[in-house]
């Protein structure tokens, strides 16, 4: 267990540092520190999403029933939980460099502004930071210890919710380089809208349907499962519905062209700025 946790603790920050150094050092790129940090953070989030989705597919496709145990489930949870700790730091660094670009702060003023930037970051990204903290302090022990190896199919399907993350990250990078006008940005926005709806909004209705398949009518499933399962599902789904509403608003502006007469950062991925990995 400790070995897998240690591996995740090294892998995600290490990949971030390696990517940042490469983007700054490769002669053909020579990116600034801020650009390298922001793109590297998106890259690590996308890599984690691909790994989680792959693990989820392997688990869910291997389970012959919804209760069956699969060795990869707890192993990947242990490996991935350090990512959420790292990502809180990575998100702050992205926010910090964006502030410095906007305000053109001098390097000498950085220490004095760091504390105010941290406060502003926690206020602006409160929901995402809370999501990450809950993943580490609640979902991690529940998934590894309380489940006792049961319901790995459900866990595998939940891993595949990360399928929407790469398109979110790409959208943010396109905005960073002012590519909102491109076809790629619109195609990526449509892909994010579809994948987020399927993988996150429909996630819990699907899990309820599978739980009661061939034995319990769908509308009776919430009355048949323990109350704490319903509470957990509601708490996890609430922010997904909030983020999806932001995506829909951004999509409406993007595809109706009304964004030209409104704020410039009104793209679909901007509306999802609070969503992470």
Q: What's the pTM? A: 0.84
The full set of domain ranges for the chain reads: 1-98+120-162, 163-253
* pLDDT 10s digits, 216-252: 888 899 988 888 889 989 999 999 999 999 889 888 8
Which residues contact residue 144 at a Cβ distance below 8 angstroms, ignoring those fewer than 6 apart?
Answer: 74, 77, 78
pLDDT at site 180? 82
Specify the length of the chain in residues: 277
Q: How confident is the model at residue 214 (pLDDT cuts 50, 70, 90)?
A: low
Q: Give the span between the Cα atoms of 207 and 178, in whole angstroms.
A: 39
Mean of pLDDT over the chain: 85
* pLDDT 10s digits, 251-271: 888 778 644 544 444 444 455
Q: Give the span between the Cα atoms of 136 and 88, in whole angstroms.
A: 11
**Cα-based distances in Å from 198 to 53, 122, 151, 157:** 14, 29, 21, 12
Q: How confident is the model at residue 70 (pLDDT cuts 50, 70, 90)?
A: confident
Q: How many CB atoms lie within 10 A of CB 42?
A: 24
* pLDDT 10s digits, 81-136: 999 999 999 999 999 888 876 654 544 445 457 788 888 999 999 999 999 999 99
Is the per-residue pLDDT at 162 higher than 90? Answer: yes
pLDDT at site 106? 46
Q: Give the span between the Cα atoms of 144 and 76, in whole angstroms.
A: 10
Please state, for a pLDDT cut of 70, what percent of the chain lies above it: 88
pLDDT at site 265? 46
Q: How many CB atoms lie within 10 A of CB 220?
A: 12
Q: How far is CA 269 from the centre of its chain?
A: 13
Average pLDDT over residues 55-61: 93
pLDDT at site 51? 97
Element (H, E) at 1: none
Average pLDDT over residues 58-76: 85
Q: Give the span between the Cα atoms of 262 and 53, in whole angstroms.
A: 36
**Cα-based distances in Å from 97 to 43, 104, 200:** 17, 10, 30
Q: How many CB atoms lie within 10 A of CB 229?
A: 17
132 φψ region: left (φ > 0), alpha (ψ -120 to 50), beta (else): alpha
Residue found by looking up tokens 């997904």 in the block: 240
Strand, coil or helix: 216: coil
């Amino acid at each position: 267990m400790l070995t897998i946790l240690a591996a995740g603790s090294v892998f995600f920050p290490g990949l971030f540092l390696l990517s940042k150094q490469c983007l700054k050092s490769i002669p053909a790129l020579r990116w600034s520190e801020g650009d390298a940090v922001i793109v590297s953070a998106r890259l690590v989030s996308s890599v984690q999403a691909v790994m989680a989705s792959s693990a989820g597919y392997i688990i869910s496709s291997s389970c012959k029933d919804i209760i069956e145990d699969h060795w990869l489930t707890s192993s990947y949870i242990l490996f991935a939980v350090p990512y959420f700790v790292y990502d809180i730091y990575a998100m702050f660094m992205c926010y910090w460099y964006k502030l410095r670009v906007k305000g053109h702060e001098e390097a000498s003023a950085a220490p004095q502004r760091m504390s105010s930037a941290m406060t502003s970051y926690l206020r602006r990204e409160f929901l995402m930071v809370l999501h990450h903290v809950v993943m580490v302090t609640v979902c991690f022990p529940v998934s590894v210890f309380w489940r006792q190896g049961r319901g790995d199919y459900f866990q595998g399907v939940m891993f595949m919710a990360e399928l929407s993350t790469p398109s979110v990250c790409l959208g943010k990078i396109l905005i960073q380089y002012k590519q909102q006008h491109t076809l790629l940005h619109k195609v990526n926005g449509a892909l994010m809208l579809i994948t987020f709806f399927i993988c996150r909004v429909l996630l819990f209705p699907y899990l309820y349907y599978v739980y009661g398949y061939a034995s319990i009518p769908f509308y009776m499933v919430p009355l048949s499962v323990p109350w704490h399962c319903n509470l957990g599902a509601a708490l996890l789904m609430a922010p997904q519905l909030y983020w999806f509403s932001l995506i829909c608003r951004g999509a409406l502006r993007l595809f109706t062209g009304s964004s030209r007469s409104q704020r410039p950062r009104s793209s679909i991925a901007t509306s999802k700025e609070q969503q992470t990995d």
